[in-house]
């Protein structure tokens, strides 16, 4: 039994991200961290592998700075890491990601479960998750808040999913690609020994030739990045007793026509 989890490096959540004079996205001196949603995916991969006596491998697709997320993952306790990158993936869209990700999963034997965090905070989307599943030809179970049962021998899984209107319990055949929510577990902090081990790890880099696939032609592209329009608000402070504050606020909100 083998679990594969995907991750990537993203700017620290508290970082001020902006578009620089050259049009590129910058976050100054702020550190990069594991994509915040992926911490739950990494923890779940460790738990699943441990429960089933299997192995958990973490993969990132992208240039070298994604090794930071992989090293954090190893320090948390993932068994192995690999990074996929190729100059042909420069400027690729989610189809390029999905093609590479699916090929990387196929390269590893005996994989029953692929786990993603709910979305990638940098690109602001989850589309690559579902597209990876389609390129593998596997089932997708998104927004998983609990794995209720899993049987790797019988190849079945039962999960709880958190959807807009409520909670769904669903069973599926394996292999499957799942995306997990914050509710699913409590991610561990890397141990001191884990950090030391990870710092020495040499992470293999796989090219598309190593994976036996070619990059598909991108179907969409980013034209440019823009800073947010300046929020031109002047705060009006409303003073008085709580009753006076409430009455004045309701006056203003009625004028704004938002009630």
Q: Which two tokens stand for residue 154?
A: 């019988």
Under a CB-based contact definition with an 8 Å cutoff, are residues 71 and 198 in contact?
Answer: yes
The residue (of 63 and 218) whose beta carbon lies closer to another protein is 218
Total interface residues for another protein by CB under 8 A: 82
Burial class (CB in 10 A: 0-12, 13-18, 19+), 29: exposed
Residue from 32, 67, 142, 185 touching another protein (CB under 8 A): that is: 142
Q: Residue 145 in contact with residue 160, Cβ under 8 Å?
A: yes
Mask for 220-249, x = binds another protein (CB under 8 A): xxxxxxxxx--x-x-xxxxx--xx-xxx-x
As measured in angstroms, the least distance from the Cβ of 87 to another protein is: 21
Q: How far apart are CA 90 and CA 207, in angstroms?
A: 12
143-172 residues in contact with another protein (CB under 8 A) are 143, 158, 162-172
Q: Is 199 in the site for another protein (CB under 8 A)?
A: no
Measured from the CB atom, the residue of 40 and 85 that comes closer to another protein is 40
b/e 103-137 (16+ beta carbons within 10 angstroms → b): bbbebbeebbbbbbbbbbbbbeebbbbbbbbebbe
Q: How far is the CB of 142 from another protein (least distance, A)?
A: 6
- C-alpha span between 105 and 97 (Å, rounded): 12
Closest distance between another protein and the C-beta of residue 140, in Å? 5
Q: What's the sign of the alpha-carbon dihedral 44, 46, 47, 48? A: positive
Pick the piece of the chain touching another protein (CB under 8 A) from 50-58, 67-75, 139-147, 195-203.
Answer: 139-147
Please report how close the Cβ of residue 94 comes to another protein at its closest, in angstroms. Answer: 6
140 binds another protein (CB under 8 A): yes
For residue 194, cis peptide bond before it (omega within 30 degrees of 0): no
Q: Mark residues 98-137: x for contact with another protein by CB under 8 A, - for none.
A: x----------------------xxxxxxx-xxx-xxx--
Which of positions 37-76 make contact with another protein (CB under 8 A)?
37
Alpha carbons 100 and 232: distance in angstroms, whole number: 43
Residues 9-38 touching another protein, rule: CB under 8 A, are 10-11, 13-14, 16-19, 25, 36-37
Of 166, 151, 160, give the one whose Cα is nearest residue 181: 160
Site string for another protein, 200-219 (x = CB under 8 A): ----------------x-xx
């Amino acid at each position: 039994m083998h679990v594969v989890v995907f991750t990537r490096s993203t700017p620290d959540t508290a970082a001020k991200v902006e578009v620089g004079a050259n049009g590129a996205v910058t976050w100054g001196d702020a550190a990069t961290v594991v994509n915040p949603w992926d911490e739950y995916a990494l923890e779940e991969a460790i738990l699943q592998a441990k429960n089933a006596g299997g192995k958990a491998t973490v993969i990132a697709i992208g240039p070298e700075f994604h090794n930071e997320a992989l090293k954090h993952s190893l320090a948390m306790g993932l068994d192995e890491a690999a990074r996929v990158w190729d100059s042909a993936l420069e400027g690729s869209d989610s189809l390029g990601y999905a093609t590479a990700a699916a090929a990387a999963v196929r390269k590893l034997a005996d994989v029953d479960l692929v786990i993603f965090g709910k979305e990638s905070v940098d690109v602001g989307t989850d589309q690559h998750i579902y597209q990876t599943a389609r390129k593998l030809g596997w089932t997708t179970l998104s927004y998983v808040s609990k794995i209720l049962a899993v049987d790797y021998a019988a190849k079945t899984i039962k999960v709880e999913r958190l959807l807009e209107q409520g909670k769904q319990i669903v069973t599926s055949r394996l292999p499957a690609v799942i995306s997990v929510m914050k509710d699913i577990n409590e991610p561990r902090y890397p141990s001191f020994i884990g950090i030391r081990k990870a710092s020495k790890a040499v992470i293999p880099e796989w090219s598309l030739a190593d994976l036996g696939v070619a990059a598909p032609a991108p179907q969409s592209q980013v034209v440019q990045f823009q800073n947010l329009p300046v929020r031109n608000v002047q705060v009006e402070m409303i003073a008085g007793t709580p009753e006076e504050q409430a009455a004045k606020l309701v006056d203003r909100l009625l004028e704004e026509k938002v009630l």
